[in-house]
Amino acid sequence: MAVDRYVKLTVTCVVLAGLVLCTQSPANPAQADRMNVLFLVVDDLNTWLLGDTNRYAGKVVAPNIQRLADSGVLFSRTYTAAPFCSPSRTALLSGVSPYKSGLYENGMDIDASSALQHATSFPKLFKEAGYTIASYGKIGHGWGDRSDWDDHIPHKRDPNPPNAPLTSVGRGEQDWGPTHLAEADMHDTQYADAAIKQLQKKHDSPFLIACGLFHPHMPWYVPQKYFDMFPLDEVTTPELLADDLDDVPPLGRAVTAGKSRFVASVLKSGLHRQGVQGYLAATAYSDAQMGRVLEALDRSPYRDNTIVVLISDHGFHVGEKSHWQKGTLWEEATHSLMLWRVPGMTRAGGVSERFVSLQDIYPTLTELCAIKPPDYVDGRSLAPLLRNPNAAWQSTAISALYDRYVSIRTERFRYIRYRDDQEEFYDCSKDPHEWVNLIGQIGNPVYTTAIKELRIAVPALSNMALPLPSKKGNRDE
């Protein structure tokens, strides 16, 4: 009898203990260890913001992005796979390089790419692995919005001020000035609001929250207070070289053709400084929104198990090489911003000067979250550099544009091939502005060897996917 009671009690205890254990452990124990991901994208954001004095020596206001850099690792030599929104974002979300998809510019018929049709975006892959995924604002541009988000606010531009254009040179989106909207009513503010709301929720499964801001994409219509942060006498303009394009081959000059008239009118009207002020005002507004999201994360229970990645999709010209905006293979348009904070892995204040690509995001995130990436994925996991920003690394990054134009950066050089007979080559260690095209300087044996190697390091013209057909006939949509 006593023994029976003892057995019953023991069984009850074991069952109860089992119940307690069951309620405390998720069905899939591996999920409990999976880190969340906060993926932040800022459109057209230059590397200037974090002290890139080669490009801009004046005052910048980016305390929040700087604080993120101070708490993680800044990849100061990040390059885009393509210097336009749609191809850059599609490449990093899909893991398919532009020279394999044929998506080299905006406004192309993405559905015509079989490589992209068979690709899985990394957010969707995360969803299949049990993550809740949410997207607010401008994350993809065409392709990436098809990730089957659990919650989604697609990007929409703010309405222009009723009296736009606000500048004498303004035309289309190339304009700037104070917005008529309250800051709370601006779309980017609302994308940040939505991300904050997600971070304040209780999550039972790991999450991937993506938040993408449109500013500082043009037009630069932001509240007056952001313009006031940059008194004109504290704004400088980038150094320009007259006749910089004289040693650039015809196809290289052609990439600036649409924008050089705008640059000429800005310079002629004496508005260069005001233009830079407009850009800075828009970046300060974006920095403020990112700051709100990052603060919400830091105040949440997820701070110590959430990977933060912040990127810009490509760089931005403000007059250099007679160009404005993006869409060139030079430093201004290809150099991008990328910051990572990985709890338990990155050390605060790390800076990696290794040359990396936005294409590396997909294989990095899958490795960090223990999710098997598809076999086709391009790029390299940055995990070794997240652990040690100075780890050994082959520093190269490839960018592609238009009809199979391609560029490669190494620590010392940039090489661009438009066609086999139209090339550029710069010694960036001596010429950070890429002012002197050295492709014809065959007398220098170091350069001759480097050019030979770089010609082979970029994909051959015949191996690059043909450009997809145009969908809307508009490159700059």
Contacts to Ca ion by CB under 5 A: 244, 247, 435
Q: Least distance (Å) from Ca ion to the CB of residue 320?
A: 11
In the three-class reduction of DSSP (H, G, I as helix; E, B as strand; rest coil), residue 336 is classed as strand
CB-based contact 247:425 (threshold 8 Å): no
Cβ closest to Ca ion, residue 151 vs residue 247 = 247
DSSP letters along 451-472, please? HHHHHHHSPPGGGSPPPPPBSS
Cβ closest to Ca ion, residue 239 vs residue 304 = 239
Question: Rounded to the nearest 10 degrees, what angle do helices 361-368 and 85-94 cross at?
Answer: 30
Which residues are 210's β-sheet partners? 39, 135
Q: How far apart, in whole angstroms, are the C-alpha atoms of residue 413 and residue 234?
A: 33
CB-based contact 36:129 (threshold 8 Å): no
Q: Least distance (Å) from Ca ion to the CB of residue 203?
A: 52
C-alpha pair distances (Å), 133 with each of 194, 207, 340: 13, 6, 19
Q: Least distance (Å) from Ca ion to the CB of residue 244?
A: 4
Tokens of residue 460, six digits: 């051959």
Cβ closest to Ca ion, residue 52 vs residue 434 = 434
CB-based contact 46:337 (threshold 8 Å): yes
Q: Which residue number has the CB closest to Ca ion?
A: 244
Cβ closest to Ca ion, residue 249 vs residue 275 = 249
Cβ closest to Ca ion, residue 214 vs residue 330 = 330
Q: How far apart, in whole angstroms, are the C-alpha atoms of residue 213 and residue 308?
A: 16
Q: Least distance (Å) from Ca ion to the CB of residue 90?
A: 31
Cβ closest to Ca ion, residue 300 vs residue 334 = 334
Q: How far apart, in whole angstroms, are the C-alpha atoms of residue 373 and residue 362?
A: 8
DSSP letters along 126-191, please? HHHTT-EEEEEESS-SSSTT-S--SEEEE--PPPPPTT---STT-BTTB-EEE-SS-GGGSHHHHH
Cβ closest to Ca ion, residue 8 vs residue 412 = 412
Torsions phi, psi of 374, nearest 5?
-60, 155
CB-based contact 293:195 (threshold 8 Å): yes
Q: Least distance (Å) from Ca ion to the CB of residue 437?
A: 5
Cβ closest to Ca ion, residue 435 vs residue 447 = 435
Q: Least distance (Å) from Ca ion to the CB of residue 321?
A: 7
Q: Least distance (Å) from Ca ion to the CB of residue 73?
A: 34
Q: Which of 25, 342, 36 is nearest to 206 (CA)?
A: 36
Q: Least distance (Å) from Ca ion to the CB of residue 127?
A: 47
Cβ closest to Ca ion, residue 65 vs residue 255 = 255
Q: How far apart, in whole angstroms, are the C-alpha atoms of residue 41 and residue 327?
A: 18
Residue with tokens 């299949």: 128
Q: Least distance (Å) from Ca ion to the CB of residue 373?
A: 40
Q: How far apart, in whole angstroms, are the C-alpha atoms of residue 452 and residue 463?
A: 18
Tokens of residue 161, six digits: 């001020």
